[in-house]
Amino acid sequence: MATREELAQKIQEKKRNNRLSWKEIASAIGNGSPVLYTAALLGQMTLTKTEAEKAAGLLGLTEAETVMLTESPYRGASSGMPPTDPLIYRFYELVQTYGTTWKVLIEEEFGDGIMSAIDFNMQIEREPNPKGDRVKIGMSGKFLPFGRY
Protein backbone atom coordinates (compact mmCIF):
# COMPACT_ATOMS: atom_id res chain seq x y z
CA MET A 1 0.00 0.00 0.00
CA ALA A 2 1.41 3.35 -0.96
CA THR A 3 -0.91 5.80 0.82
CA ARG A 4 -3.40 6.01 3.67
CA GLU A 5 -6.09 6.86 1.10
CA GLU A 6 -5.40 3.62 -0.80
CA LEU A 7 -5.42 1.68 2.47
CA ALA A 8 -8.77 3.25 3.40
CA GLN A 9 -10.16 2.11 0.04
CA LYS A 10 -8.86 -1.41 0.64
CA ILE A 11 -10.41 -1.47 4.13
CA GLN A 12 -13.77 -0.35 2.75
CA GLU A 13 -13.57 -3.09 0.11
CA LYS A 14 -12.77 -5.74 2.79
CA LYS A 15 -15.65 -4.40 4.93
CA ARG A 16 -18.03 -4.68 1.99
CA ASN A 17 -16.83 -8.12 0.86
CA ASN A 18 -17.06 -9.52 4.39
CA ARG A 19 -20.45 -7.84 4.96
CA LEU A 20 -19.21 -6.18 8.15
CA SER A 21 -20.61 -3.04 9.73
CA TRP A 22 -18.37 -0.32 11.18
CA LYS A 23 -19.84 -1.19 14.61
CA GLU A 24 -18.82 -4.85 14.19
CA ILE A 25 -15.32 -3.84 13.14
CA ALA A 26 -15.03 -1.43 16.08
CA SER A 27 -16.14 -4.14 18.53
CA ALA A 28 -13.47 -6.48 17.17
CA ILE A 29 -10.76 -3.83 17.55
CA GLY A 30 -11.43 -2.87 21.16
CA ASN A 31 -13.66 -1.05 23.61
CA GLY A 32 -12.82 2.45 22.36
CA SER A 33 -15.02 4.82 20.42
CA PRO A 34 -16.51 3.42 17.20
CA VAL A 35 -16.19 6.96 15.79
CA LEU A 36 -12.43 7.00 16.48
CA TYR A 37 -11.89 3.49 15.11
CA THR A 38 -13.83 4.28 11.93
CA ALA A 39 -11.91 7.55 11.49
CA ALA A 40 -8.62 5.67 11.91
CA LEU A 41 -9.57 3.05 9.34
CA LEU A 42 -10.56 5.83 6.94
CA GLY A 43 -7.13 7.44 7.39
CA GLN A 44 -7.89 10.35 9.73
CA MET A 45 -6.76 9.04 13.16
CA THR A 46 -4.28 6.50 14.54
CA LEU A 47 -4.69 3.15 16.22
CA THR A 48 -2.49 1.67 18.92
CA LYS A 49 -0.29 -1.25 17.86
CA THR A 50 -2.69 -3.73 19.52
CA GLU A 51 -5.75 -2.14 17.90
CA ALA A 52 -4.05 -2.10 14.49
CA GLU A 53 -3.12 -5.78 14.84
CA LYS A 54 -6.74 -6.69 15.68
CA ALA A 55 -8.00 -4.68 12.69
CA ALA A 56 -5.40 -6.34 10.45
CA GLY A 57 -6.42 -9.81 11.61
CA LEU A 58 -10.07 -9.11 10.90
CA LEU A 59 -9.50 -7.38 7.56
CA GLY A 60 -6.52 -9.34 6.24
CA LEU A 61 -4.04 -6.46 6.12
CA THR A 62 -0.31 -6.78 5.51
CA GLU A 63 2.32 -5.95 8.14
CA ALA A 64 3.14 -2.67 6.36
CA GLU A 65 -0.54 -1.71 6.27
CA THR A 66 -0.87 -2.56 9.96
CA VAL A 67 2.04 -0.25 10.80
CA MET A 68 0.51 2.48 8.63
CA LEU A 69 -2.61 2.44 10.85
CA THR A 70 -0.42 3.46 13.81
CA GLU A 71 1.29 6.37 12.01
CA SER A 72 0.16 9.98 12.22
CA PRO A 73 -1.94 10.76 9.16
CA TYR A 74 -2.18 13.88 7.07
CA ARG A 75 -5.69 14.76 8.20
CA GLY A 76 -8.17 16.09 5.71
CA ALA A 77 -5.92 15.12 2.80
CA SER A 78 -8.72 13.69 0.67
CA SER A 79 -11.33 16.35 1.34
CA GLY A 80 -11.63 19.33 -0.94
CA MET A 81 -13.26 22.58 0.12
CA PRO A 82 -16.08 23.05 -0.07
CA PRO A 83 -16.88 19.35 0.23
CA THR A 84 -18.95 17.89 -2.61
CA ASP A 85 -20.52 14.89 -0.84
CA PRO A 86 -24.05 16.00 0.14
CA LEU A 87 -23.92 14.62 3.69
CA ILE A 88 -20.49 16.10 4.42
CA TYR A 89 -21.52 19.38 2.78
CA ARG A 90 -24.42 19.69 5.25
CA PHE A 91 -21.88 19.84 8.10
CA TYR A 92 -20.02 22.55 6.20
CA GLU A 93 -23.37 24.32 5.78
CA LEU A 94 -24.01 24.03 9.53
CA VAL A 95 -20.69 25.73 10.24
CA GLN A 96 -21.42 28.43 7.67
CA THR A 97 -24.86 29.07 9.19
CA TYR A 98 -24.24 28.53 12.90
CA GLY A 99 -20.47 28.89 13.26
CA THR A 100 -20.57 32.49 14.43
CA THR A 101 -23.42 31.64 16.82
CA TRP A 102 -21.51 28.71 18.30
CA LYS A 103 -18.45 30.93 18.65
CA VAL A 104 -20.16 33.74 20.56
CA LEU A 105 -22.14 31.37 22.80
CA ILE A 106 -19.05 29.30 23.67
CA GLU A 107 -17.02 32.46 24.33
CA GLU A 108 -19.81 33.89 26.49
CA GLU A 109 -19.87 30.71 28.57
CA PHE A 110 -16.12 29.91 28.69
CA GLY A 111 -14.20 33.01 27.63
CA ASP A 112 -11.79 33.55 24.76
CA GLY A 113 -10.61 30.18 23.48
CA ILE A 114 -11.45 27.13 21.43
CA MET A 115 -13.09 23.72 21.77
CA SER A 116 -10.45 21.07 21.26
CA ALA A 117 -10.83 18.57 18.44
CA ILE A 118 -7.90 16.65 19.94
CA ASP A 119 -9.20 16.15 23.51
CA PHE A 120 -12.61 15.30 22.06
CA ASN A 121 -15.46 12.79 22.24
CA MET A 122 -18.29 12.19 19.79
CA GLN A 123 -21.35 9.96 19.75
CA ILE A 124 -23.63 9.30 16.79
CA GLU A 125 -27.06 7.83 17.49
CA ARG A 126 -30.36 7.16 15.77
CA GLU A 127 -33.22 9.05 17.39
CA PRO A 128 -36.62 7.52 16.53
CA ASN A 129 -39.19 10.06 15.42
CA PRO A 130 -42.69 9.49 13.97
CA LYS A 131 -41.90 12.00 11.19
CA GLY A 132 -38.74 10.08 10.25
CA ASP A 133 -35.73 9.03 12.30
CA ARG A 134 -33.27 11.76 13.21
CA VAL A 135 -29.49 11.80 13.45
CA LYS A 136 -28.27 12.74 16.92
CA ILE A 137 -24.65 13.82 17.20
CA GLY A 138 -23.09 14.67 20.54
CA MET A 139 -19.69 16.39 20.67
CA SER A 140 -17.63 17.20 23.71
CA GLY A 141 -14.25 18.92 23.46
CA LYS A 142 -12.01 20.29 26.16
CA PHE A 143 -12.09 24.08 26.35
CA LEU A 144 -8.68 25.59 25.68
CA PRO A 145 -8.38 29.25 26.64
CA PHE A 146 -6.08 31.48 24.62
CA GLY A 147 -3.04 32.32 26.71
CA ARG A 148 -1.64 35.78 27.20
CA TYR A 149 2.06 36.27 26.73
**SS3 for 12-70, per residue?**
HHHHHHCCCCHHHHHHHHCCCCHHHHHHHHCCCCCCCHHHHHHHHHHHCCCHHHHHHCC
Query: From the candidates 107, 116, 134, 140, which is the catalytic residue?
Result: 116
Q: Give kind and range of the element (H or E) at residue 87.
A: helix 86-110
What is each CA distance from 12 to 1, 37, 81, 95, in whole angstroms?
Answer: 14, 13, 23, 28
Whole-angstrom Cα distance, residue 115 to residue 103?
10
Say how far apart CA 119 and CA 90 lie, in whole Å. 24
116 is catalytic: yes
93 catalytically annotated = yes
Is residue 33 part of the annotated active site? The answer reads no
The active-site residue out of 13, 93, 107, 140 is 93
Catalytic residue among 27, 75, 79, 90: 90
With residue 96 as reference, give the H or E element that holds it.
helix 86-110
Which residues form the catalytic set?
90, 93, 116
